[in-house]
Amino acid sequence: MGSSEKKPLYVQLADRLRNRIMNEEYKYGQVFPPERELERIYGIDRKTVRKSLNILEKEGLLFRIQGKGTYVNRPDISYSLQKVSGFSRLLRQQGVRITNRVLIKTGQAAGYRIAKVMGIHKSDPVWKLVRLRLADEEPISLEFTYIRQELIPDFECIDFEVYSLYDAWSKSHHVPTYIDETIDAVEVSGMEARCLGKEDGSRVFLVTDVTRDQDGLVIEYNRAYTNSDRIRLSTQLS
What does pTM read for this prediction?
0.62
CATH number of the domain at 20, please: 1.10.10.10
* In a domain? residue 130: yes
* In a domain? residue 178: yes
* In a domain? residue 237: no
Residue 38 has pLDDT above 90, yes or no: yes
User: Which residue range forms the structural domain that includes residue 39?
Assistant: 9-72
Q: Do 123 and 172 reside in the same domain of the chain?
A: yes
Q: Are 175 and 214 in contact (CB under 8 A)?
A: yes
156-181 pLDDT, tens digit each: 999 998 888 888 888 888 888 888 88
Q: Do 123 and 55 reside in the same domain of the chain?
A: no
How many CA atoms are closer than 13 Å to the CA of 208, on its beta-carbon side?
17
Report the relative pairing of strands 69-72 and 202-212 from DSSP bridges: unpaired
Q: Domain tally for the chain? A: 2
User: pLDDT category, 205, cuts 50, 70, 90?
Assistant: confident
Q: Do 50 and 135 reside in the same domain of the chain?
A: no
